[in-house]
Structure 1
Amino acid sequence: MDQEAIIQYITDTFAGVDVLRPSDGPGAGDTFIYYDPDGDLDRTRELPFATIVTKNHTGFDESSRLDRPGVFRLNIGVRRDTFRALFGDPPSGADAPSTDYDYAALDRLMPHPIYASQWWVCLLNPSPETFEAVKPLLADAYDRVATRHARTQARRDE
């Protein structure tokens, strides 16, 4: 699958999604997918529920070797229980890649090399078959942020 097909699936499947694709700055070339049903999300205070990263971030996120031609990483912020069911507890301490995974491997679901402790999973260049298996994880991530958004809205309306 290519990046555009993944983005198309997400925007066709999940309501209230906003896709941000910066053209400059440190996120240039990457894709950030937010739940923003009202179109008023403060991106300085909210995180995306999925991202597509196309390059290394020198000094802290190079283990996926995204400097290879055509390689991208799909990142998904799942629920804690979902992450634990897949991988157990993430390593504690500083965010650093575990040595248990080859983070440069294509088409393999694994904990995020840096953000596993925040319940993020990732995979590089998923095949159509692997992407089918990952769709429930995207639904889990979407549901997590949509539920949080609904709770926040309910508190505001009280």
Structure 2
Amino acid sequence: MTRYISETFDQARGVESSGDTFFTYGPPGDQWLLFATVVTGDTYDSVSDLGAAGSYRLNIGLTKATYTSRFGPRPTRRDEHGVLETGFDHSRRDEVMPHPHYASQHWVCVVDPATKTLGDVRALLDEAYRFAARKHANRHRRG
């Protein structure tokens, strides 16, 4: 997935930290806008059960319109562990679902994307990338 993002989106910059990769939009030296991440372990949460070898969670930042058209209003209630109450089992594989911690900011995730979600994931990544590019252009126009 990291290779797909790096090779598909011209202005995407991947920064790796502790095995995770954070993808931003923007030319070097400019303010970067995060649009996707690939998380490979349970360092920050264990709800996705990423302990299996090769397992990862792809996280994608969407527009409010796309998020709400798929999942309804963004969640605001959290459980005792800080996980947003979305009604989804965040350990399910190959299913697009609200992000366990950032769905309130219109982020979605997929644990181990495969055949069932690959086309959807690519379309969502494209939208997230174009959204980051629009935000970048708007910032530059405003000065």
TM-score (norm 1): 0.81
Q: CA deviation at 1:21?
A: 0.9
Check conservation: 1:96, 1:114, Cα contact below 8 A. yes
Aligned to 2:101: 114
Three-state SS of the structure 1 residue aligned to 2:13 is strand
* Of 63, 68, 76, the match for 2:52: 68
Q: Measure the CA separation in 2 of the matches of 1:127 and 1:48.
A: 23
Q: Is 1:57 aligned with 2:43?
A: yes
Q: CA deviation at 1:35?
A: 0.4
Q: CA deviation at 1:89?
A: 0.9
* Of 69, 76, 84, the match for 1:85: 69
* Of 12, 15, 30, the match for 1:41: 30
Query: Residue deviations 1:96-154, cap 9 Å, x none?
Result: 23261111111111000110000000001111441112111111111111001001111
Check conservation: 2:33, 2:132, Cα contact below 8 A. no
Spell out structure 1 runs of 4+ moving beyond 3 A. Answer: none
Q: CA deviation at 1:14?
A: 1.5
Q: Measure the CA separation in 1 of the matches of 2:91 and 2:107.
A: 16
TM-score (norm 2): 0.89
Give the structure with the higher percent strand: 2
Q: Measure the CA separation in 1 of the matches of 2:30 and 2:22.
A: 13
When the two structures are aligned, how many residues end up with a matched partner?
A: 140
Q: Measure the CA separation in 2 of the matches of 1:49 and 1:147.
A: 12
Three-state SS of the structure 1 residue aligned to 2:19 is coil
Three-state SS of the structure 2 residue aligned to 1:137 is helix
Q: Measure the CA separation in 2 of the matches of 1:129 and 1:67.
A: 22
Q: Measure the CA separation in 2 of the matches of 1:9 and 1:129.
A: 17
Q: Is 1:152 aligned with 2:139?
A: yes
Check conservation: 1:63, 1:97, Cα contact below 8 A. no
Q: Measure the CA separation in 1 of the matches of 2:115 and 2:39.
A: 18
**Structure 1 residues 142-151 or 88-97, which shifts more?**
88-97
Three-state SS of the structure 2 residue aligned to 1:49 is strand
Segments of 5+ residues of structure 1 without an aligned counterpart are: 1-5, 23-27
Three-state SS of the structure 1 residue aligned to 2:117 is helix
Over aligned residue pairs, what C-alpha RMSD do you find?
Answer: 1.7
